[in-house]
Structure 1
Amino acid sequence: MNNMAATVLSVVIPALNEATSIERTLDRLVVQDAIDEIIVVDNGSEDGTQKIVLDYAAAHPQVALIEEPQRGIPAARNAGFDKARGDFLARTDADTLVGPDWGEVIRHTLTEHPEIAAVTGITTYHDSPVGFFLKIGYYLQDRRGKLGGQVGNMHGPNMAIRRSAWETVRADTTMRPDVAEDLDLALCLTKRGLRIEQLTDMRAETSARRRRTSPRDWWRFQLTGLRTITDQGYQVRPFHRAVIVGAWLTHTVQWPIYRFWDFDRRRFTLRPGRARVSAVGEHT
């Protein structure tokens, strides 16, 4: 327990135009005693995100705001990780609601298991009309013993890494905005022989608003995964292609539902909503 108390857990949140969601995200984090520091990295917001975070930080000294002018999650993430003082560096998104014991699960795992370099968790949706399908899918995988254990990827809104591991791979990671930054980081860890563990009790709920992306743009987004794999020197295999095709098909089937879903009012509407998805590699 003393060892756990001696460590510092920092959480980094890249943010771009997240005025409508950032406060709820911070509310979930500041009440967790296991979290010592929360750094919001503003990536060029024009909607009042900065003011909201600064006002929030005035009442919560563990929250800080920094700016990163270079657009893209890789640049924002790196700026936050470099600024953070934590022995453990967690990351989530500005539209994500972490579980009430999220910080404790991260801290306990990385403290008690020095062989683990990074952790990632189970992420579902908090604003989806059909999000229960994802929860059912995870439940069935868990029943079959397919969740948890060593993995080769991480999910950006729900992950953490040791500072020592980050310092080992930082120079290997790409700053290009047209790659999947979480997969890129995971591949860098794997190449160095550093272990990533999936934790079934590390829970978070993110926004499903990306599901409004058109099938054509979603396909382009899926291709960033293949680009990330090749850029890190790995060979793209049929399995990788099958995964992105499956992900694209799943998205395409759901897309008509989300077109008529009002994320603010949490109800269906007769007017199709406008997608809130930016260029690949940027925030959404």
Structure 2
Amino acid sequence: MLSVVIPVLNESQCIRRTLDRLSAQDAVDEIVVVDNGSTDGTRDILGAYALTNPKVTVVDEPVRGVARARNTGFDRARGEFIARTDADTIVDSDWAEVIRRHFTAHPETAALTGITTYFDSPVGFFLEFGYRLQARRGRLGGRVGNMHGPNMAIRATAWKQVRDATATRPDIVDDLDLALCLTKAGLAIEQLTTMRARTSARRRRTSPAKWWRFQQSGLRTITNQGYTVLPYHRLIIVGAWATHTAQWPIYRFWDFERRRFTLHPGRERLYPLTSSDRAPSAGEP
């Protein structure tokens, strides 16, 4: 049995599309949507959707935070395999089948992550080109040390093994934290080039200053799990920040809904949830 968990916060504009793609896949047995305190009508949409689709279950996690919502969903999931994606992500039509098939054929694999590109970016072809270049050089696929939240899966047995070691602090990166917990437990994570999804690039509108703080949270995640931050870790975050900063002027004037440039693109979408997105009373250990 395969369960799919989707943490959700104020995603009324895109959640139906994501649910439509997942519920149409025969390999998906259950979809657990965790509402993390939406105030834009998302909860009403989810309730109505669940009434007409028996695969969908809606649960609430009042304490804000991606890790909190993820944990609630993973704990509630009934499947032998638990996949995770985001509300603004469109998985490929065979996504669930790829996950089930690989887990079944490779019992030694504890978790999976795939290839994620953008569906609404004016410069998304650069990311796709980068993946093609890496594939040509044989650098995609196989054992890895990290996972990407919108495109990942884990065995229920592996989740139970590492669950208590995961952090729910607001200043860590949830998918990296989970990957480090799996690695410490000696559990294998594999990247599949056939496990594909397309997500929104809207977080690319985050200002360089805020993006730098997010990158710093990656180093904090590493040390929180007892690992030593090495020079190449710092080099990676500097490179990620520089790449983001180079693209930011483009996304600053890009309308993700209409797919066109505009002088009034709307509010930026922070990545991930930051303190400004959280309820003031939501304390997380």
Give the TM-score normalised by the residue count of structure 1.
0.95
Amino acid across the alignment from 2:9: L
> What is the CA deviation profile of residues 32-68 of structure 1, one whole-angstrom value per residue up to 9, with x for unaligned ones?
0001000100000000101111111111110010000
C-alpha change, 1:118 and 1:191, in structure 2 (3 Å) is: same
Paired residues for 1:251-262 under 5 Å? 251-262=244-255
Paired residues for 1:159-174 under 5 Å? 159-174=152-167
The SS at the match of 2:7 is strand
**Paired position in structure 1 for 2:100:** 107
Instruction: Measure, in 2, the Cα distance between the counterparts of 1:131 and 1:144.
Output: 21
**Paired position in structure 2 for 1:158:** 151
C-alpha change, 1:124 and 1:282, in structure 2 (3 Å) is: farther
Is the contact made by 1:215 and 1:252 (CA closer than 8 Å) also made in structure 2?
yes
| Cα drift, residue 270 of structure 1 | 2.6
> Which of the residues 43, 47, 54 maps onto 1:61?
54
**Paired position in structure 2 for 1:71:** 64
Is the contact made by 1:73 and 1:282 (CA closer than 8 Å) also made in structure 2?
no
Listed as ranges, the gaps of 5+ residues in structure 1 are: 1-7
Is the contact made by 1:117 and 1:195 (CA closer than 8 Å) also made in structure 2?
yes
> Which of the residues 195, 201, 209 maps onto 1:202?
195
Instruction: Measure, in 1, the Cα distance between the counterparts of 2:276 and 2:218.
Output: 11
| Cα drift, residue 178 of structure 1 | 1.2
> Which of the residues 99, 124, 133 maps onto 1:131?
124
**Paired position in structure 1 for 2:172:** 179
> Which of the residues 262, 274, 284 maps onto 1:279?
274
Matched, 1:98 2:81: no
| Cα drift, residue 144 of structure 1 | 0.6
> What is the CA deviation profile of residues 2-41 of structure 1, one whole-angstrom value per residue up to 9, with x for unaligned ones?
xxxxxx1000000000000101111110010001000100
C-alpha change, 1:124 and 1:280, in structure 2 (3 Å) is: farther
| Cα drift, residue 177 of structure 1 | 1.6
Paired residues for 1:21-36 under 5 Å? 21-36=14-29
Is the contact made by 1:259 and 1:274 (CA closer than 8 Å) also made in structure 2?
no
Is the contact made by 1:149 and 1:197 (CA closer than 8 Å) also made in structure 2?
yes
Amino acid across the alignment from 2:50: A
How many percent of aligned residue pairs carry the same amino acid? Answer: 69
Amino acid across the alignment from 1:55: A
| RMSD, aligned α-carbons | 1.2
Amino acid across the alignment from 1:279: T
> What is the CA deviation profile of residues 74-116 of structure 1, one whole-angstrom value per residue up to 9, with x for unaligned ones?
1100000111100001100010000110000000001110000
> What is the CA deviation profile of residues 202-226 of structure 1, one whole-angstrom value per residue up to 9, with x for unaligned ones?
0001110000000000000001110
Matched, 1:192 2:178: no
Instruction: Measure, in 1, the Cα distance between the counterparts of 2:21 and 2:199.
Output: 12
Instruction: Measure, in 2, the Cα distance between the counterparts of 1:236 and 1:113.
Output: 32
Amino acid across the alignment from 1:51: D
**Paired position in structure 2 for 1:81:** 74
Instruction: Measure, in 1, the Cα distance between the counterparts of 2:134 and 2:264.
Output: 36
Instruction: Measure, in 2, the Cα distance between the counterparts of 1:243 and 1:184.
Output: 17
**Paired position in structure 2 for 1:41:** 34
**Paired position in structure 2 for 1:5:** none
C-alpha change, 1:218 and 1:21, in structure 2 (3 Å) is: same
| Cα drift, residue 281 of structure 1 | 10
Give the TM-score normalised by the residue count of structure 2.
0.95
Instruction: Measure, in 1, the Cα distance between the counterparts of 2:174 and 2:221.
Output: 8
The SS at the match of 2:4 is strand
